[in-house]
Amino acid sequence: MPATLPETPETPTRQRMSYEDFLAHYPGEYADWVDGEVIEMSTPSAEHQLLSAWLTAILREFTALRGFGVVLPAPFQMKTGPNLPGRQPDILFVATEHMERLKVNHLEGPADLVVEITSPESGTRDRGDKFFEYEQGGVREYWLIDPRRRQAEFYELGADGLYATAATPDGVYHSKVLEGLWLRTAWFWQADRPPLLSVLREWGLL
């Protein structure tokens, strides 16, 4: 398991403004917009960023080689619906057929896949408010990764508009949104995560 690094305590600050003003005044910053309030967050921990950077790299390479769409890491805004908050997922994927949703400074509509990496402060929000917002907004796949518990949960949106937990037999998850992509959950917790080229070889892309 990667060495445990100290978490950066998050002390959200809040102020009120429209979503349009929020986008204009908070470009590229760690903040959410909820019910007209701006919720600023401090920078994530080093371990959070290392895991996010590794996962972003392998997802970007997979989607680029397959021509599936684009992968964007935080900070980048996503507003899944007109009456839903503006959130900033750790990682989001937008399929080629939905590229019209991608605007200059935010995603107007749901990503096809969202990844959240939990911290002690964000766990309740990631499993609570964001879970139901992403479900209601139509995010087709939601990955919830908890490094402290070594727990990875994968949710897929059903025809009924509700998330169902996806099976991970033998600790392997096969994505439905990214056809042909699979992940060993043990990769997330290894002291040395497999390098990009090794993962691509396992996927048969090299």
| Mean of the per-residue pLDDT values of the chain | 91
- What was the pLDDT predicted at 178? 98
Start-to-end CA span in the chain (Å): 27
The verdict on residue 73 lying in a domain is yes
pLDDT digits (tens, 9 = 90+) for 75-94: 999 999 999 999 999 999 99
Q: DSSP label at 140?
A: S
pLDDT tops 50 at residue 9: no
| Assessment of whether the complete model's pTM goes beyond 0.85 | yes
Whichever domain contains 146, its CATH number is 3.90.1570.10
Nearest to 32 by CA among 113, 173, 133, 120: 133
pLDDT digits (tens, 9 = 90+) for 126-166: 888 999 999 999 999 999 999 999 999 999 999 999 999 99
The verdict on residue 107 lying in a domain is yes
Query: Tokens 């998330």 belong to which residue?
Result: 163
Stretch 49-64: mean pLDDT, rounded?
97
The verdict on residue 119 lying in a domain is yes
The verdict on residue 24 lying in a domain is no
How many distinct structural domains can be found in the chain?
1
The verdict on residue 12 lying in a domain is no
The verdict on residue 97 lying in a domain is yes
Supply the range of the domain harboring residue 143: 45-202
The verdict on residue 8 lying in a domain is no
pLDDT digits (tens, 9 = 90+) for 127-138: 889 999 999 999
Residues 8 and 45 sit within 8 Å (Cβ to Cβ)? yes
The verdict on residue 2 lying in a domain is no
Distance of CA 180 to the CA centre of its chain: 19
